[in-house]
Amino acid sequence: MTATRIDGKAFAAALRERVGSHALDFASKAGRKPGLAVVLVGEDPASQVYVGSKGKATVAAGMESFEHRLPADTSADALLALVDKLNADENIDGILVQLPLPDHLDEHSIIASISPDKDVDGFHVINAGRLSVGQSGFVPCTPLGCMMLLTDRLGDLSGLEAVVIGRSNIVGKPMAQLLLDANATVTIAHSRTKDLAAVVKRADIVVAAVGRPNMIGKDWLKPGATVIDVGINRLPPEPGKEKGKLVGDVAFDEASEVAGAITPVPGGVGPMTIAVLLRNTLVAAHRNAGLAVPEGI
């Protein structure tokens, strides 16, 4: 068997198109574009790249991007004052504080200061709580993107065995919650799980969010399983090359011999994250303006 390659890049591009056309519609009704504020503290090179791409994608989707780049020694008070200002700004629907923050800033208290109704990253405890009790709020972008790929591929997930490897607050836990809400039978595995290979072998759906290159081989997979690889790992560079290859947590080539469908790295889950961020911002804009959220978005 050769697995179907789940093309997250194409799915994300289509989602961004849909968001863009709804954003135009929103602007004609509300008299302003949806607005996303992104706050970056410090000069972490990876974060700078992420913030730059988020800004470009926001503008390309017909939304207003507000970027705030603050020095690494910004005080907690100054950052909280900026978040307060953004919370009160009616032109801003979504606020994202790029993580990680420098060590002297407490991520939990900064995220807690964002209005839950503008928390388009879905990291606020209120939104985590809403997800866990089944109320509508904002769901973290990466797991929501994985869920979109899964339902697009499989339709109804009722009764399927799902194994999520990883239990972080931003990927593993919300992923498990979404799968549970979709009536899958869910196992969350982590670094203390015994005989992980046997646990994964039961799964019709495997979501790997670990951060260990090529950890999951073909022997771990049930034939026909749908595999969503969230991991992004850079291998050491080959001789003569400046950068190593990007790989996921799943050994893609060999897993493709057994799985029914699988996301590649890159080009699978990665592109979904920003597309879902734009989707969440569009939803926030409609809610904040008292307009009906477009269906099927």
Q: How far apart are CA 244 and CA 237, in angstroms?
A: 4
The rounded distance, in Å, linking the Cα atoms of 90 and 37 is: 12
Is 54 catalytic? The answer is yes
- Two structure tokens written together for 249: 């947590």
Given the complex with ligand NDP, which of 108 and 190 has the nearer CB atom? 190
What residues from 196 to 255 belong to the interface with ligand NDP (CB under 6 A)? 196, 209-212, 230-233
Residues 92-151 that bind ligand NDP (CB under 6 A): 142
DSSP 185-235: EEEEE-TT-TTHHHHHHT-SEEEE-S--TT-B-GGGSPTT-EEEE---EEP
Active site residue 44: no
Residue 84 catalytic?
A: no
Piece of 61-69, 183-191, 234-242, 280-288 that binds ligand NDP (CB under 6 A): 183-191
How far apart, in Å, do the first and last CA atoms of the chain sit? 33
Q: Which is nearer to ligand NDP, 49 or 291 (CB)?
A: 49
State the catalytic residue, choosing from 33, 54, 173, 222: 54
**Catalytic residue from among 117, 121, 204, 249:** 121
Choose the binding region for ligand NDP from 24-32, 89-97, 155-163, 186-194 (rule: CB under 6 A): 186-194
Is residue 39 part of the contact set for ligand NDP (CB under 6 A)? no
Q: What share of the chain is helix, strand, coil (3-state, %, to 5)?
A: 45, 15, 40
Please check whether residue 212 is in contact with residue 249, taking contact to mean a CB–CB distance below 8 angstroms: yes
Of 55 and 294, the one with the shorter C-beta distance to ligand NDP is 55
Nearer to ligand NDP, 273 or 288 (CB): 273
* Cβ contacts of 84 within 8 Å, gap of 6 or more: 113
For 52, residues 6+ apart whose C-beta sits below 8 A from its C-beta are none
**Residue 191 engages ligand NDP in binding (rule: CB under 6 A):** yes
The yes or no reply on residue 277 touching ligand NDP (CB under 6 A) is no
H or E element: which one contains 163? strand 161-165
d(CA 167, CA 227): 17
How far apart are the C-alpha atoms of 248 and 232, rounded to whole Å? Answer: 5
Part in contact with ligand NDP (CB under 6 A); list of ranges 120-128, 148-156, 175-183, 184-192: 184-192
**Minimum distance of ligand NDP from residue 282's CB (angstroms):** 19
Q: Which stretch, 33-41, 88-96, 164-172, 252-260, contacts ligand NDP (CB under 6 A)?
A: 164-172
Q: Which residues form the catalytic set?
A: 54, 98, 121
Give residues in contact with ligand NDP (CB under 6 A). 142, 165-168, 170-172, 189-193, 196, 209-212, 230-233, 269-270, 273
